[in-house]
Structure 1
Amino acid sequence: MSDEFKKHPIPPQDPEKGEVDVAHQAIVTPDLNETAISNDQNKNAPSKEVTVAIPAVKPPPKPTHKVSRWIRWRLWFNMYRRFFVLSFGLNMIGLVLAASGHWPYAVTYTGAIVVANFNVAILMRNEVFGRFLYWIINACFAKWPPLWFRLGCTSVLQVIDHIAHFCFSEGLMCFAKHLGGIHSGCALSGVAWLLFKVVWNFRHMKVSHDAVLVMGVFTNIAVMVSALSAFPWVRNNHHNVFERHHRFVGWIGLIFTWVFVILGNTYEPSTRTWNLNGLDLIRSQDFWFTVGMTVFVALPWFFVREVPVDIELPSNKVAIIRFKRGMQQGLLARISRSSIMEYHAFGIVSEGPHAKYHYLIAGVQGDFTRSLVENPPKTLWTRELKFAGVSNTSTLYKRGIRVCTGTGIGAALSTCLQSPYWYLIWIGSNQEKTFGPTISGLIKKHIEPERLMLWDSKARGGRPDTMKIVKEAYEYWNAEVVFLTSNYIGNTEIMQGCTEAGIPCFGTLWDF
């Protein structure tokens, strides 16, 4: 740890204005010779005052640092891609065995394998299932298991919401959750198995009914369009195209799947007759897997409500959306101006589950967020059951660092508001003026100076050496983990730096 950080591990702040004074002022910091970093630390422990002078000069350019290929490979081949390779690879092995005649079961029950893959894919994206997994992990494994086990839990859960869109930029970021690898792997596998089944039906069209053949083609087209629309390039560059096709064509694909399953299980190829008593249908694996798909698709929509909102516009760059009732930390909310179209996800800022309000911070980046500033609505549609983000696993750790830039504060702030064991590093430009009194007031009220670093890049003449700050804060705070919400460049830089330094870090994932 540098001598400078020992003297002032946090930027000096004016206690009245909450602003950075880059010229000269007193800094209150904990006495590092005391046991201030123990788990049972009293956050009101005695502190000592040190007066320093900080010149208002532009920091020198950061030296370029190239990390090893091994570090870059470890970050690229994350848990998301490992799950994808595992789920897709196993399915492709099975498909090859079936096509080569070495797995007769798969040929006989191809339909069941198709809908089973789709069933798992949809389950991995189900918000109710995700919240249940987070609740189980947080309730059973908070703080007591070895650190490597808790980090593994976070890494696995991080995959669940990999496609959970976090409105931080126009190209929506995928907030790190890795079970999305299973979602993607099983979904593509289901498409491949369905194509195999349709081809098999056409190869044996003499004993197949025309209706079964036609519905097989329609179902294949629908699921292919839904899958292709979710490819990373489409998601990140044409979000509305992705959402409309992935959702609505996916629903059409579900309807076609029902028709295909019913026709396939009521037609008897051996006698070329229809068996309409329904017994064969309800005894089939396809039927029950399709029931599961339907339940998992429909369940989150039962929680959609139109609710009143108040919108604060502290600047033309940000809208602060206020909702009634408090929330636990680490949750995200989907909002829309309509009941079924164009939902956008934002991190929730709340003082706690029993607070009167919770807030969303919407940075003006695209058409939707711009409309919140130019034409503030009185009501918005939202899902009352919120989905969990990686910050929700902060309860697993004894102490941690939360790093964010700009509007990433929306996903980070609740963790530090609700726990005295988390240190906040927020890098932005003129934060109090840009984000307004509500957000600044929450920070002043709940986060003590000794666990807060606000870096105003406008007042300080540029961005800091973020990795240096993170390393020194990690040592000073005796942290176990770092959670990061930043843009692509910042995320890459810090993730690489933390991995190289041996600091456990979870950040934003991009899969393009």
Structure 2
Amino acid sequence: MTTSLNRTETELPPPKGKLRGLLAHPRLMHHNRLAALVVALNLAYVYAGRPLSDRSLGHAALANLALAVLIRQQYVVNLLFRLATSAPTHWPLRLRRTLGKVYHFGGLHVGAALAGAAWFLALTLRTTDGPLAAVSWTLTALLAVIVATALPPFRSRRHDAFERIHRFGGWSALALFWTHTLMAAPGPLSLSVLTLVTFSVALPWLRLRRVDVRTERPSRHVALARFDYGVTPFAGSSTAISRSPLKEWHSFANVPAPGESGFRLTISRAGDWTGSFIDDLPSKVWTKGITTAGVANIEVLFTKVVYVATGSGIGPCLPHLLAAQVPSRLVWATRDPRATYGDALVDEILAVQPQAVVWDTSRDGKPDMVALAYAAYRDFGAEAVICISNKKLTWQVVHGLERRGIPAYGAIWDS
């Protein structure tokens, strides 16, 4: 496999400074800043509203609950992306690079969930009515479990358990919120907000359906799943699929082909679920909700972009490469690409990216992806780099480029 880059060592420019390096660090990414902002606004409300009545505590808890739920709603997510990516490319790069961080919206979910749980605890501590106190403490305990199991150490090690606790615990918490609200003589505002939140939670499940899927297995590492059930998603969106809808869901990037109906998913062996999918090649799976925008949709904010992918990270990049809405250059590092993904897929990629940098790790070893990304960014004259890889390498590339003043983007594993 040839590449368009000279394989000599690429010298990276020096970091821009300590402040930029600090702000580019994953711990200070926009997701965490948004979470901190929500918490800070709640603290400001505490300071400005002292002393707070029980009604104020209840409204604050409900407002944060609504934000935590609605910001994850699929229609809201797509709206956020549409608004953020509507900026024209003649706007200053400083502004566009910030708008490109729209996919960090999950920080609002985290901040609101933490604040909402704290507000409800404060309200519970004031509750003296026996039956109402019992409901309050039950809900408080449930919220504590949901928050604790959503913390990164638990979520990363036991993601399936986190997902089930979040789903069933969330549904139970919503039911208890309704119970608590109705027992506490609610006003029209509380009922309206709870109705909206309930509808938001139920909406994706109202679109639950079992659909046909045609799968092929180019290698033991990958399955290519093809769908054509009347939905042709937009490039850069993702679809959640399941073989058991009450247990676990997995999202994959949609790969629609220009001028064709339906779409493909590239499913790489990365755990028990994907492994069994590749081994079994099921003929039917479940889907729910609508397709939602993903990280790479921000490409339209820039005049040129570089896509950096490793392994099956090529899946989320492929629809953008095929659509060619924005001039792009691909850097793809993977083991034996033709043997792993099949000649058809590799030829399809090279047909639209003849200058792609395709690094065969089984032949040439693991490359310095930051250096490869920078070289492509420099030689192509790009404005931004979008990285689709595993967590460690994504953060390495994004942080490595951002601290050098280069706009860089990649998944943040916040769900």
- Structure 2 length-normalised TM: 0.91
Three-state SS of the structure 1 residue aligned to 2:194 is: helix
Task: Note if 1:351 corresponds to 2:257.
Answer: yes
- Displacement of 1:88: 1.1
- Displacement of 1:490: 2.0
- Displacement of 1:89: 2.2
Task: Note if 1:379 corresponds to 2:284.
Answer: yes
C-alpha separation in 2, matches of 1:285 and 1:384:
27
C-alpha separation in 2, matches of 1:359 and 1:476:
32
Task: Note if 1:151 corresponds to 2:97.
Answer: yes
Unaligned runs of 5+ in 1: 1-18, 22-26, 30-51, 160-178, 266-280
Three-state SS of the structure 1 residue aligned to 2:252 is: strand
C-alpha separation in 1, matches of 2:133 and 2:40:
28
Aligned twin of 2:112? 186
Task: Note if 1:458 corresponds to 2:375.
Answer: no
| Cα deviation digits, residues 343-383 of structure 1 (max 9, x gap) | 0111222223x423321111112111111122121111113
Structure ID, larger Rg? 1
Runs of 4+ in 1 over 3 A off after TM superposition: 65-70, 92-98
C-alpha separation in 1, matches of 2:365 and 2:286:
39
- What is the aligned counterpart of 2:269 among 346, 360, 364? 364
C-alpha separation in 2, matches of 1:319 and 1:242:
26
Three-state SS of the structure 2 residue aligned to 1:426 is: strand
Unaligned runs of 5+ in 2: none
C-alpha separation in 1, matches of 2:195 and 2:339:
52
Q: 1:395 to 1:68 in 2, by over 3 A?
A: closer
| Cα deviation digits, residues 404-426 of structure 1 (max 9, x gap) | 11111112121111116011111
Q: 1:226 touches 1:249 (CA, 8 Å); kept in 2?
A: yes
Aligned twin of 2:24? 74
Aligned twin of 2:38? 87
183-192 vs 289-298, which moves further: 289-298
- Displacement of 1:221: 1.9
Q: 1:492 to 1:132 in 2, by over 3 A?
A: closer
Q: Which amino acid aligns with 2:51?
A: W
Q: Which amino acid aligns with 2:55?
A: T
Aligned twin of 1:3? none
- Displacement of 1:95: 4.0
Aligned twin of 2:51? 103
C-alpha separation in 1, matches of 2:350 and 2:233:
19
Task: Note if 1:305 corresponds to 2:209.
Answer: yes
- Displacement of 1:223: 2.1
Three-state SS of the structure 2 residue aligned to 1:141 is: coil
Aligned twin of 1:397? 302
What is the aligned length? 409
C-alpha separation in 1, matches of 2:272 and 2:366:
28
Three-state SS of the structure 1 residue aligned to 2:204 is: helix
Task: Note if 1:437 corresponds to 2:343.
Answer: yes
Q: Give the 5 Å matches for 1:94-493.
A: 94-95=45-46, 102-104=50-52, 106-138=53-85, 140-155=86-101, 157-159=102-104, 179-201=105-127, 205=128, 208=129, 210-265=130-185, 281=186, 283-324=187-228, 325-352=231-258, 354-383=259-288, 385-419=290-324, 421-445=327-351, 447-450=352-355, 452-459=356-363, 461-493=364-396
C-alpha separation in 2, matches of 1:219 and 1:455:
52
Three-state SS of the structure 2 residue aligned to 1:109 is: helix
Three-state SS of the structure 2 residue aligned to 1:468 is: helix
C-alpha separation in 1, matches of 2:383 and 2:15:
25
Q: 2:307 touches 2:317 (CA, 8 Å); kept in 1?
A: yes
Task: Note if 1:496 corresponds to 2:402.
Answer: no
C-alpha separation in 1, matches of 2:396 and 2:55:
51
C-alpha separation in 1, matches of 2:81 and 2:176:
33
Q: Which amino acid aligns with 1:154?
A: G
Aligned twin of 1:505? 408
Q: 1:72 to 1:314 in 2, by over 3 A?
A: farther
C-alpha separation in 2, matches of 1:301 and 1:397:
35
Q: Which amino acid aligns with 1:184?
A: V
Q: Which amino acid aligns with 1:144?
A: H
| Cα deviation digits, residues 139-172 of structure 1 (max 9, x gap) | x3242322222212111x111xxxxxxxxxxxxx
| Cα deviation digits, residues 19-64 of structure 1 (max 9, x gap) | 449xxxxx8x9xxxxxxxxxxxxxxxxxxxxxx9x8xxxx99x99x
- Structure 1 length-normalised TM: 0.74
| Cα deviation digits, residues 217-272 of structure 1 (max 9, x gap) | 1221222222222111121110111011110011011001001000001xxxxxxx
Q: Which amino acid aligns with 1:336?
A: S
Three-state SS of the structure 2 residue aligned to 1:199 is: helix
| Cα deviation digits, residues 447-494 of structure 1 (max 9, x gap) | 1413x11111122x2122322322221122111110011223322332
- Displacement of 1:438: 4.0
Q: 2:329 touches 2:353 (CA, 8 Å); kept in 1?
A: no
Q: Which amino acid aligns with 1:112?
A: H
Between structures 1 and 2, the one with greater helix share: 2
Q: 1:327 touches 1:351 (CA, 8 Å); kept in 2?
A: no
C-alpha separation in 1, matches of 2:64 and 2:44:
14
User: RMSD in angstroms over aligned alpha carbons?
Assistant: 2.6
Q: Which amino acid aligns with 1:148?
A: R
Q: Which amino acid aligns with 1:228?
A: A
Q: 1:128 touches 1:300 (CA, 8 Å); kept in 2?
A: no
- Displacement of 1:73: 4.8
C-alpha separation in 2, matches of 1:510 and 1:308:
29
- Displacement of 1:182: 0.9
- Tell me the percent identity: 27
Q: Which amino acid aligns with 1:136?
A: L
